[in-house]
Amino acid sequence: MSDTKSEKIVHGMMAEFTTVDSLLSACRRIRDAGYTKTDAFTPFPVHGIDKALGIKPTVLPWICFFAGITGTCIALTMEIWMNGIDYRYIISGKPFISLPAFIPVAFELTILLASFGAFFGMWALNGLPRFSNPVFTDPRFDRATDDRFFLYIDAKDDRYDAAGVRSLLTDTGSDYINEVVEDDSPKAVPRPIYMIWGAAVAASIIPLLCVLLMRVTNSSQPRFHIFPDMDFSPAKDAQQTTSLFGDNRAMRPDVPGTVARGQLIGSLDVMTGIDVDSLQAMNAPRAERLVAAFMQDDQAAVAEEVTEVATEEEEQAEASVMQTTPWVKENPLTVDQALLSRGQLQFGVYCSVCHGMDGRGNGLVNQRAQERGFDTWVPPSNMHEDTLYSDKYPDGKLFSTISNGIRKMPGYAGQITVQDRWAIVAYVRALQLSQNASLDSVPASRKDEVSQAVESAKKELQRQAEEAAQAAAAREEK
């Protein structure tokens, strides 16, 4: 028995203990006796065992730290070289070398290399990977994961001498001491493992070969789609059917209110506010230029043409306005409640900022301009001037003013549709009427109602005036 053992290489000495305390005191004795290549195996973590065995703190944190620093340096060097030297490119107006912008990559690489350091450092320090450890040859060692505590002294320790170690361990109160010998099972890696490994390497080359093959050959087959995305969305031709929409028509009707380019709305009179037939009779070339500009859908040319009309007017006397341009006299659209409401809305949106909700010319823009005291400011016109009433200022001219602007006021043809411009014209007329109406213009059925309202409003005004007078008198007495 001893013969066979002596032929084998001794690896160390293993002692078994039944309690934590006996293990710890044994550890201390071994440490004090000067052994350093020692280890303890316990079924659960035992506090203070490192100290009892005199194990020095691991160098793993340092490996981790320097691997991390290496990552930071690599990242910063790479970024400074790329962004600051090799390919200088302004990104978001930052300097070429902008440390704040470099942080994400530097951070990522630091973490990556630090975790590699921790992972592979642990393997290296523990001498991993290895198939087996000689301590497993000890028949009772399995209980290290169950209910026994083991202390191990490596034969590589300078002080190791089998007899001395055995007596020392016996002294510590261990009742099972066993010399661990090197594992004598064959060292050669089993053949099946080589075969599996070889097969795996061979299989891993197959995808690469497929890619290489595809790069040098052509195929008439359609592309192999893993994610089809929108590659197969069917395109429909005019007049075809589809199951996608309820009416089975592939061609979709226009969205209501769509205006095609160049689409004429109503007659030229409606579009310009000018009675084109009369203009033709009065000034044929001008009428032709106007029509041509309209046919070409040239907004700027139309505005120019109509403004020219207006300028010519200005050069002539005010009185001749009506004679130089035959304006459309009455709103060509049917003026009803719907049109007026539309006009009110559009006036509120487009005109009231300057002209005010009541049309008196004191909108927010004007108030602001007055406040700032701009001396070049031209105040918006008051719609209640009698020169702007329909007898002197026909609907067509008002329409043209909205469309093409006048003097300091910009044109709104680009923003407001033809219908809405006429709706505004109708609303401006109503606005003007509202400030100058007599009781006669009220329908008979509502006359009573209106005159009552007027009466009570008058009374209210009177009451307010009296109150103000009383207050003034009271103040004077004081």
Q: Please, which residue, 71 or 380, has the CB nearer to ligand HEC?
A: 380
Minimum CB–partner distance for residue 240 and ligand HEC (Å): 44
Interacting span for ligand HEC (CB under 6 A) from 10-18, 219-227, 373-381, 461-469: 373-381
- CA separation for the pair 84, 87 (Å, rounded): 7
Rounded to 10 deg, the angle between the 284-295 and 299-315 helix axes is: 160
Residue 325 binds ligand HEC, judged by CB under 6 A: no
What is the Cα gyration radius of the chain? Answer: 50
Minimum CB–partner distance for residue 436 and ligand HEC (Å): 16
What would the x/- binding string for ligand HEC be over residues 82 to 121, using CB under 6 A?
----------------------------------------
Evaluated on CA atoms 8, 13, 16, 20, the torsion sign reads negative
The answer, yes or no, to whether the previous bond of 394 is cis (omega within 30 of 0) is no
Please pick, from the candidates 46, 322, 353, 357, the single residue that binds ligand HEC as defined by CB under 6 A: 353
- CA separation for the pair 442, 445 (Å, rounded): 8
- CA separation for the pair 98, 206 (Å, rounded): 44
Interacting span for ligand HEC (CB under 6 A) from 53-61, 143-151, 274-282, 400-408: 400-408
- Compute the CA torsion angle 453, 458, 462, 465 (nearest 10 deg): 100
What would the x/- binding string for ligand HEC be over residues 183 to 202, using CB under 6 A?
--------------------
What would the x/- binding string for ligand HEC be over residues 401 to 440, using CB under 6 A?
xx---xxxx--x-----------x---x------------
Q: Tokens representing 99? A: 């440390």
| Three-class DSSP category at 9 | coil
Q: Please, which residue, 61 or 414, has the CB nearer to ligand HEC?
A: 414
For residue 389, CA distances in Å to 340, 386, 429 come to 17, 5, 8
Please pick, from the candidates 270, 306, 333, 354, the single residue that binds ligand HEC as defined by CB under 6 A: 354
- CA separation for the pair 13, 31 (Å, rounded): 15
Q: Contacts with ligand HEC in 133-162 (CB under 6 A)?
A: none
Minimum CB–partner distance for residue 361 and ligand HEC (Å): 8
Place of tokens 């305390």: 21
Q: Contacts with ligand HEC in 206-265 (CB under 6 A)?
A: none
Q: Which residue is nearest to ligand HEC (CB)?
A: 351
> Count of residues binding ligand HEC (CB under 6 A)?
20
Task: Give the number of other Cβ atoms within 10 Å of residue 159's Cβ.
Answer: 13
Contact between residue 405 and residue 432 where contact means Cβ atoms under 8 Å apart: no
Interacting span for ligand HEC (CB under 6 A) from 60-68, 244-252, 258-266, 352-360: 352-360
Q: Please, which residue, 137 or 401, has the CB nearer to ligand HEC?
A: 401
Minimum CB–partner distance for residue 76 and ligand HEC (Å): 57
- CA separation for the pair 75, 142 (Å, rounded): 47
Write b or e for each residue in 208-243: b if 16 or more Cβ atoms lie within 10 A of its Cβ, otherwise e. eeeeeeeeeeeeeeeeeeeeeeeeeeeeeeeeeeee
Minimum CB–partner distance for residue 476 and ligand HEC (Å): 44
Please pick, from the candidates 388, 430, 442, 450, the single residue that binds ligand HEC as defined by CB under 6 A: 388
Binding-site ranges for ligand HEC (CB under 6 A): 350-351, 353-355, 365, 378, 380-381, 388, 398, 401-402, 406-409, 412, 424, 428
